[in-house]
Homo-oligomer: A and B are copies of this chain.
């Protein structure tokens, strides 16, 4: 058993999926949860993925060996401040936030070195567009990557324990600096989400098209964007505002490329269009070969499947 008591603060998609792993794989003796939504907490206990819930983050964290912050990143600072007084030396705080530089800036200043509390910033790169404890499932993390961005002087045994937990969820582990993490994620995650948010707004705003028609024929492409754009609003507001510099630069690059493509269309430059599209196909092939989509993605949406994932170490 890796831990005695684990506290999960925020029992949404990620928190509840991790809770399922902790319980089913018997990684700890006790899971206690806190969430600002009382229904979520009750549901977690009802689903038997938590042993108990607490009236506050501090109450939930009392005496915990591990506290997992799985709320939107915007409240990390407040939470760290709140739970610090109840943590014992050797207790580990980890998080699952999609931006790591900001997470560290929010959490680390609240941890005095003499407290003996250890912070391990983490990001399990997995998810669906759904939210809440019922949206979570045991297999969410399988075959995906978990990125850990340890700060200076992190004790190796604590780092090892957090890595073990994610490995037990069948994740593959990567280590990198928080800055590099945030740059990579801006490109592969933040920009795509932002574009999806934007295009769904554009299409929904069009006058002269009946709203009904947009929904009706959405299977022809729009649908896939609504799926991406259906992700949690609070989480994404916090991500976009707090990884701002990199994201604004990427938007500029994207707009440049889009304008170039627009120009290709206006001037009938079919060869250039073909060239771009053919290159895209090659990238798509690489994604499939890296087992980051299809048929893996289908399995993700089929909770309860039994077979082991061959990718997991």
> Which residues does A use to contact B, with CB under 8 Å?
98, 125-127, 129, 144-145, 147, 183-185, 187-206, 208-209, 213-231, 233-234, 236-237, 240-241, 244, 247-248, 250-251, 253-255, 257-259, 261-262, 265-266, 268, 270, 273-274, 276-281, 283-287, 290, 292-295, 297-298, 301-302
- Also in contact, A198 and B254, with CB within 8 A (given A189-B221, A265-B247, A270-B241): yes
Question: A125 CA to B218 CA in the complex, in Å?
Answer: 9
Q: How far is the CB of A213 from chain B (nearest CB, A)?
A: 5
**Distance of A202 Cα from B194 Cα, bound (Å):** 14
When distances are taken between beta carbons in the complex, the residues of chain B under 8 Å from A302 are 298
Contact of A254 among B189, B202, B215, B257 (CB under 8 A): B202
Known contacts A284-B227, A284-B230: does B185 contact A217 (CB below 8 Å)?
A: yes
CB pair A228–B221 under 8 Å, yes or no, is yes
Q: List 6 A-B pairs, minimum CB-CB distance, nearest first.
A: A230-B284, A233-B277, A189-B220, A192-B221, A229-B280, A188-B222
A254 touches B199 (CB 8 A): yes
Q: Judging by beta carbons under 8 Å apart, are A189 and B222 in contact?
A: yes
Cβ-defined contact, A216 with B293, below 8 A: no
Given contacts A125-B217, A213-B184, contact A198 B240 (CB under 8 A): no
Cα distance, A242 to B94, chains bound together (Å): 53
Q: A233 — nearest CB in chain B belongs to which residue? A: B277
The complex places the Cα of A283 from the Cα of B189 at a distance, in Å, of: 21
Instruction: Say whether B192 contacts A273, CB under 8 Å.
Output: no
- Residues on the B chain within 8 Å of A254, using CB: 198-199, 202, 258
Chain B residues in 8 Å Cβ range of A223:
287, 292-293, 297
Cα A304 to Cα B208 in complex, Å, equals 40
Q: Contact: B208 with A183, CB < 8 Å?
A: yes
* A200: chain B residues within 8 A (beta carbon): 280, 283-284
Q: Is the CB of A274 within 8 A of B233?
A: yes
Closest B residue to A181 by CB, please name it. Answer: B217
B261 touches A194 (CB 8 A): yes
- Determine if A217 and B184 form an interchain contact, defined as CB atoms under 8 angstroms apart: yes
Verify B204–A283 contact, CB threshold 8 A. yes
Apart from the given pairs A188-B217, A196-B221, A202-B253, 11 other A-B contacts in the complex at a CB distance below 8 Å: A125-B217, A191-B203, A224-B224, A226-B280, A226-B284, A230-B281, A233-B278, A241-B265, A244-B266, A247-B265, A255-B255
> Which residues of B have CB within 8 Å of A192?
199, 203, 221-222, 224-225
Nearest opposing residue in chain B for A261, CB measure: B198
- Given contacts A201-B257, A270-B241, are A188 and B287 in contact (CB under 8 A)? no
- A219 surroundings in chain B (CB, below 8 A): 125-126, 144-145, 292-293, 297
